[in-house]
Chain A
Amino acid sequence: MSAIRPNWQALAALVATLYALTALPFTATMGPALSLAVAALLAAGAILSMLRAARPIETTILAIASFGAAAMLLAGLTGAFGTANAGYFASLAAAWLLGWRLVTVLSGDGSHGDKGSSLVAIAVPALFGIWVLILWECIVRGAGVPFVLLPPPSAIGLRIAGSLPILAADFRQTVLKAVLFGYVVGSLAGFLVAILADRFRFLANGLLPIGNMVSALPMIGIAPIMVIWFGFDWQSKAAVVVVMTFFPMLVNTLAGLAASGDMERDLMRTYGAGHWQVLVKLRLQAAMPFIFNALKINSTLALIGAIVAEFFGTPIVGMGFRISTEVGRMNLDMVWAEIALAAIVGSLFYGGLALLERAVTFWHPSYRR
């Protein structure tokens, strides 16, 4: 058993670091000393991580080497827009390879029974996200990508911090007015129609195939019609959201109401339960996973519907309006700020629904441990 455990990420990182040494200093404002320090840190990290050490030590070495080097490389960019040379990118690649090695070590061999797996389950995707941001920042600023093409994440962060009132106003217009109203009304209407259709088999037989078909249609196209009918303000967007969220809820609730087993239904019949009693006490409970599935699908659809409907005409506020106008004015940092806002709202919406689902359908097999 040798003391060295080679792996391709660390070896490639070592090669990249050696190449980087031929092109010192890395950027216009980065002195030879700092550049050399980056290279030394990377080389040390690559070699030390290949020693047969315990996993905590290996991960610590990799984390220090990759993130230390990345921090120095980021610091070396101040006042050096677009002056990075090949050595800079080689050492960036080396740092990224060590980061990849770190993720590989943390993930293990893919078996899901590792100790501390809940921490790893959060840390690994987080590391991935952080590296995407680091690479984005370093490549855009190092290579001097024009600001109008792709602003670096730091500029987007600054823009978010600097225009909170605008973002808040857009959020209020698009999410709190159009999305929320449309989502509640559309989902509720779909649910009620499904309950009604379920009472009459004929109606359910007719609505289910039509609903399935409609959910494949580009329903977003009704946006211009709604703008003509309901005007430029949030009501037209809410109407689009109502139509878009209605059918997924209808189809899923109908499918869910058919999900309870024959045995349970027979049991209810032996209790002498009427249609509505069976519905409330058995079938709606069994349909909950399906209903939450529809609610989750609708949360994304509602945001998309409201944002795209704003491309067809709005008052001068709203997330979709801001995106389409700022793209036209080439203020891409503002556009990215709105996209970040939309992403945060979308994931929070979804996450909230997932938590609620857990509380309501705690009995479902998928939550058993």
Chain B
Amino acid sequence: MQVGRFVHDRLLPIGTILLVIVLAWYVAAYAMNAPFQRDTDRRAGVTPTSSEFLVKTMSQPKPTMPAPHQVVENLWKNTLTVKPWSKRSLVYHAWITLSATLSGFAMGTALGVLIAIGIVHIPALDRSFLPWIIASQTIPILAIAPMIIVLLSAIGITGLLPKALISTYLSFFPVAVGMVKGLRSPDVLHLDLMRTYSANKVQTLWKLRIPASVPFFFTSMKVAIAASLIGAIVGELPTGAVAGIGSKLLAGSYYSQTIDIFAALIAGSIVAILLVTLVDLAGRFVNARMGARQP
């Protein structure tokens, strides 16, 4: 029964939509590559049959819109047929981006939690700092990414750290805001109970506020890790194409290598899905073990 509902409510609709997307992608590839192909054929003086023409639109070296199988082929070639540490491998580039993402995410989460604890305990910080944190959510923070990169490289800091800092910057906001909400989520009743136990602030924090904030923590971490990945990718743009998913995008855009761009995009998406899924699974596991309510 459960399986039947899963197939009917999830697998079937999602599968259908994905199938439609792939079909639409093929149609778009044909439609968008056809003008260029017609032009090439006319110059070469060949008149292909319509099936030959269809195949040709799907196998251009620099198509306007690469067909799905071309992208998959490129992904396959650049991940499984080359050594993972060679510069041609997407695994290598994904790893560069992933390492910046993870270190930035770790720093951002730690910073966000610390700020949230400060805000919950110091009223002056709550009144003066929290409005700025919330207001800064409305600002396109990513705009300062190039400046951070160039500045840090001017004072001799290059490589992983500048990108990680951008990720930190992007990921600490969701964590800070979510954790403030989470640390304030215990009922007044529970806080009063802690007071009757004559618990001090540290004990209340450890034994009540932090356990109560765990579901909020994982929810905001899911947002934060997606944001850190975006930060790391954008952080790779201004350094010029050195390494990483962002540099693959930039290199692809310089040389109009649409297949490479799509492959890099899909590699980035796979990394994003893996990261969010991991955080989600960890959250489910921890929440279940702690008997927490989902927010």
Contact = CB atoms under 8 A, between A and B. Distances in A.
Contacts of B14: 205-206, 209-210
B107 interface: no
Contacts of B135: 347
B161 interface: no
B249 A213 contact: no
Given A216-B222, A338-B143, A342-B143, A125 B13 contact: no
A323 B149 CA distance: 12
Interface in B58-107: 64-65
Nearest to A179: B140
Contact of B127 (A103, A209, A223, A342): A103
B201 interface: no
A203 B12 CA distance: 10
Contacts of A104: 123-124
A311 B124 contact: no
A225 B258 contact: yes
B141 to A, nearest CB: 8
B127 A124 contact: yes
Contacts of A210: 14, 17-18
A220 B230 contact: yes
Interface stretch (A30-38, A42-50, A157-165, A299-307): A299-307
Interface string A103-131: 11011111000000000110011011100
A365 interface: no
A300 B137 contact: yes
A313 interface: yes
Interface string B215-236: 0000000100010011001100
B81 to A, nearest CB: 23
Contacts of A228: 64, 253, 256, 258, 261
Mostly helix, strand, loop or mixed at chain A's interface? helix
Contact of B16 (A127, A206, A216, A320): A206
Interface string B121-133: 0011011110110
B143 A203 contact: no
A8 to B, nearest CB: 12
Interface residues of A, number: 68
B182 interface: no
Contact of B139 (A148, A227, A308, A347): A347
Contacts of B256: 228
Interface stretch (A70-78, A262-270, A327-335): A327-335
Contact of A216 (B12, B265, B273): B273
B234 A308 contact: yes
A218 B268 contact: yes
B242 interface: no
Contacts of A109: 123
A202 interface: yes
A218 B230 contact: yes
A319 to B, nearest CB: 7
A128 B276 contact: no
Contacts of B196: none
A343 to B, nearest CB: 4
A359 interface: no
A299 B139 CA distance: 9
Nearest to B269: A217
A125 B272 contact: no
A225 B140 contact: no
Q: Which of B138, B234, B252, B273 has the most CB of A within 10 A?
A: B138
A110 B123 contact: yes
B253 to A, nearest CB: 3
Which residue, of A202, A308, A342, has the highest number of chain B Cβ atoms within 10 A?
A: A308
Interface string B250-285: 101100101001101100110011001000000000
B9 A307 contact: no
A216 B226 contact: yes
10 contacts: A125-B132, A205-B10, A217-B273, A307-B142, A308-B142, A308-B234, A335-B144, A339-B143, A343-B140, A347-B138
Interface of A: 100, 103-104, 106-110, 120-121, 124-125, 127-129, 148-150, 202-207, 209-210, 213, 215-218, 220-225, 227-229, 296, 299-300, 303-304, 307-308, 311-313, 319-320, 323-324, 327-328, 330, 332, 335, 338-339, 342-343, 346-347, 349-351
Given A204-B13, A217-B269, A218-B265, 17 more contacts: A104-B123, A109-B123, A110-B123, A124-B131, A125-B128, A127-B128, A129-B132, A149-B154, A202-B13, A218-B226, A221-B233, A225-B265, A311-B237, A312-B253, A327-B150, A347-B138, A347-B139
